[in-house]
Amino acid sequence: MTPLVERRGRTWLQRGVIALNVVLIAATLASALLLDYAYGRAASINRVALDRSLTDVPPGQEPGERVMNILLVGSDSSAGLDEDDPIQIGRQGERFGDVIIIAHIDERTGGMALLSLPRDLWVEIADTGREARINRAFVDGGPAALIETIENQFDVPIHHYVNVDFAGFRGLVAAIDSVDVYFETPARDWNVNARPEPRSQTGFLMPVAGCHSLDPETALAYVRSRYYQTQNEDGEWVTDPTSDLGRIRRQQDFLRRVLKRAIDMGARNPFVLRDLIDTGLENVAIDERLTPQLLLDLGMAYRSFDPAQLQTYSFPAVDGRVGRNQVLLPQFDEAEPVLELFRGAPFDDPSTVDLMVHRVAGEGDDQLQALRSRGYRPEVTELTAASATPGLVVRHGPDGRHAALQVADVIDGGASIEQVDGLLGRSVVVRIGPMPVAGPDIAAPTLEDGAADGATGSDAADGATSSDAEAAGEPTGELASCG
């Protein structure tokens, strides 16, 4: 008779190995199911044949090492909505390029950036020999003409294409139920110059300040609002003078909130992601190269992405007039550092920063040496000592905070970081005033916002400043608690 063998309990190490195997098997099955589902679901997605227009991803880039640009177009089309939908009033299913964004994905670092191209940006339309607003390329020639126009004008490759219309945008918001947005004051969309009388263009109205959950209809009206007004303390409605540029910033902030909301709902879980895909893909069109496998690869590569790290840019432009057209004139010099990023330069590459150093003579030699040793080629301007603000200040415009942080990390001198008016793109100004003498009894210098220092020329960009959190375009106070 075979003797009985005592069964010992499994050790903690054995249990750990078994548990790990179970997790790996479950993850593998979940990924396989999601991919299988995605391939099946792909058959119902609208596809756009753009092989002759899209740029090939450079050969040799393996998954996890790819760098690519995806053109996102929000088309001003109501064709996918019901005939009795209120947004159909006065429309015939138009299809304009209302929102044009280049999404830059760098799998090498896990970085992601968005470059918004204002629809009124005045450029030469591909294959026409004439200039017009950039959204005319989409109206007249569709996505192929828009892609070619972007590549010709900005030398930025476009590897993939995604189009979302009104109904598609609503579907994307519906997939995550709603999106929370904080309003510091009551707000509305109201075109004071509309004829025959002033009216709302989108129907957006937020009569009470505070945190509000925007449903799909309200969210669409909000991101479409070009004639955005806020109510001041006297009850008067004040129109946002930045028009389309202000709308771009609201759209970028909204997209960051969409990402956060999706993650909060569990988008990193393959089964939750499948449900989001199922709800959000209606009325979305993509190019034929954007395969389910690529989408899954990107989803896996960015499963831990923090929406707060999303870098957002608007193409540097200034108001102008061409004939009777009120347009935005591109500022190519200021745009060049941003464009370098979207051409594939690493996020921390010095070529992606337009750097100016304003210093008192004899100060800042260590900082300049540190910058130059890292590959920066700053333009240096001398300041007068009598009127210079003491200490180190790194200043940037609305789109330049990430570049400013990059520069501040190099000089490593406890610099204050401030946002100012007048700096476009990834332009950064380092101001080096009289440095305090080191010692235990020496108090840190007090920096006065917007203090004059007698500098001229490119220093004219210095102006009213804001806190670092505001400079980041990130929520503060009650806005942060809004999610």
pLDDT at 81: 47
pLDDT band at residue 435 under the 50/70/90 scheme: low
Per 3-state DSSP, the chain is made up of helix, strand and coil in percentages (nearest 5) of 35, 25, 40
Q: Is 361 within the bounds of a domain?
A: yes
Question: Which percentage of the chain shows pLDDT scores above 90?
Answer: 49
pLDDT at 450: 36
pLDDT at 472: 39
Q: Is 230 within the bounds of a domain?
A: no
Domain range for residue 429? 353-438+445-471
For residues 378 and 392, give the distance between their C-alpha atoms in angstroms, rounded to a whole number: 16
437: burial class by Cβ within 10 Å (0-12, 13-18, 19+)?
A: exposed
Q: Is 202 within the bounds of a domain?
A: no
Q: Is 263 within the bounds of a domain?
A: yes
pLDDT at 473: 40
Q: 375 and 303 share a domain? A: no
Q: Residue 336 in contact with residue 323, Cβ under 8 Å?
A: no
Domain finish residue from 342, 373, 396: 342
Q: Is 144 within the bounds of a domain?
A: yes
Query: Rounded to an integer, what is the distance from CA 272 to the centroid of its chain?
Result: 25
pLDDT at 395: 96
Q: Is 207 within the bounds of a domain?
A: no
The tens digit of pLDDT for each residue in 41-57 reads 656 678 888 988 999 98
pLDDT band at residue 300 under the 50/70/90 scheme: confident
Residue 58 identity (one-letter amino acid): P
In this structure, of 73-87, 166-180, 286-300, 383-397, the range with the lowest mean pLDDT score is: 73-87
The tens digit of pLDDT for each residue in 438-481 reads 444 333 333 333 333 333 334 434 444 444 444 334 443 333 45
What are the tokens at 32?
Answer: 């396989």
Q: 257 and 393 share a domain? A: no
Say which residue, 1 or 69, is predicted with more confidence. Answer: 69
pLDDT band at residue 274 under the 50/70/90 scheme: low
pLDDT band at residue 74 under the 50/70/90 scheme: confident
Q: 433 and 289 share a domain? A: no
Q: Residue 297: pLDDT above 50?
A: yes
Cα torsion 21, 26, 29, 34: sign: negative
pLDDT, mean of residues 102-127: 93
Q: 375 and 337 share a domain? A: no
Q: 318 and 368 share a domain? A: no
Q: Is 406 within the bounds of a domain?
A: yes
CATH of the domain at 257: 3.40.630.190
pLDDT band at residue 77 under the 50/70/90 scheme: low
Q: 337 and 415 share a domain? A: no
Q: For 446-478, b where at least 16 C-beta lie within 10 A, e where not — what string? A: ebeeebebebeeebebbeebeebeebbeebeee
Say which residue, 123 or 26, is predicted with more confidence. Answer: 123
Residue 323 identity (one-letter amino acid): G
pLDDT at 277: 63
pLDDT at 440: 40
pLDDT, mean of residues 308-315: 92
Q: 256 and 402 share a domain? A: no
427-432 and 354-360 strand pairing: parallel
Q: Is 199 within the bounds of a domain?
A: no
Average pLDDT of the residues of the chain: 80
Say which residue, 267 or 256, is predicted with more confidence. Answer: 256
The tens digit of pLDDT for each residue in 11-40 reads 555 555 555 555 555 544 445 555 555 566
pLDDT, mean of residues 229-252: 91
pLDDT at 73: 92
In this structure, of 10-24, 56-70, 133-147, the range with the lowest mean pLDDT score is: 10-24
Q: 288 and 165 share a domain? A: yes
Q: Residue 114 in contact with residue 252, Cβ under 8 Å?
A: yes
Highest-pLDDT range among 136-150, 373-387, 445-459: 136-150
Q: 114 and 262 share a domain? A: yes
Cα–Cα distances in angstroms (integers) from residue 456 to residues 131, 331, 387, in the given order: 35, 21, 12
Residue 329, beta-bridge partner list:
318
Q: For 353-369, b where at least 16 C-beta lie within 10 A, e where not — what string? A: bbbbbbbbeebbeebbe
**41: number of Cβ within 10 Å:** 15
CATH of the domain at 464: 3.30.70
Q: 170 and 252 share a domain? A: yes
Q: Residue 1: pLDDT above 80?
A: no
pLDDT at 329: 96
The tens digit of pLDDT for each residue in 383-403 reads 887 767 788 999 999 999 999
Residue of 196, 290, 286, 200 whose CA lies nearest to 239: 200
Q: 109 and 82 share a domain? A: yes
Cα torsion 365, 371, 374, 378: sign: negative
Q: Residue 220 in contact with residue 191, Cβ under 8 Å?
A: no
> What 3-state DSSP class applies to 69?
strand
Domain finish residue from 342, 376, 405: 342
pLDDT at 78: 46
Tally the domains of the chain.
2
Q: Residue 146 in contact with residue 43, Cβ under 8 Å?
A: no
Say which residue, 326 or 460, is predicted with more confidence. Answer: 326
Q: 172 and 311 share a domain? A: yes
pTM of the model: 0.79
Q: Residue 187: pLDDT above 80?
A: yes
pLDDT, mean of residues 175-190: 93
